[in-house]
Amino acid sequence: MPEQLSIAQLTGQTDSHLTTLAGEQAKLHPLAAEAYLKMRAAAEDAGISLAIASGFRSLQRQLSIWNRKWQGQQSVLDKNGQPLTVTALEPAALMHAILHWSALPGASRHHWGSDFDLFDPRPFRDGSNTLQLVPSEYCDPSGPCFHVWQWLTEHAHEFGFFFPYARYQGGVAQEPWHLSYRPLATQLQQQLSLTVLTELLQSLPLEGKTTVLEQLPHIQKQYINNISEDNGWTNTWCGYSSF
């Protein structure tokens, strides 16, 4: 039976559709949570430790991130990770710079409860390291999450998960830590229509609202629906083999 969320649930206005994971602070949709717990148990059997760095993310949190970046109160980076001068950018250029790293409020996959960011908690337990969620932590053989990433690229698909940002495809930056529960996320992505987004954004105190609304069809194509559809485990990313 197709999974349907209310507009409030789909766009992160409420977490009433989610459950809190046992042993973790993150909230996920029950279907994704069940699959994740099975995957986590299988990883433990293989000597791999998994933990969620970020599960559900509310609309208000995403809106705060967006507005702070637009106002120059939070760093806006170029595609190489270097800080940009917000005041030197035209509105459209600023919009694209933010979207490369941060989802449009109401359009984040983290709203759905189907998507989350994974890491290996063991290298960070003594406080000597801080998780940055950058590709080198996962793709570099010396990175703290490299072995987790290797295991996931080989086995995550067995539990219904895939990497929507496995590689940079001209939209969102590469995120080797971001997993999505395909049976659920595919349905919810189809629910997130331009009409739903337009009505929501019109009601929000969104910085750059005029520019965003004018380019919303392009944003949907380049950033929201532009994902890596394959499982990822058959590919080579970051210059390193997943096998």
From first CA to last CA, the distance across the chain in angstroms is: 36
pLDDT for 198-216, tens place per residue? Answer: 999 999 999 999 999 999 9
Residue type, 133: L
pLDDT for 26-54, tens place per residue? Answer: 999 999 999 999 999 999 999 999 999 99
pLDDT for 46-78, tens place per residue? Answer: 999 999 999 999 999 999 999 999 999 999 999
Residue 238 confidence (pLDDT): 61
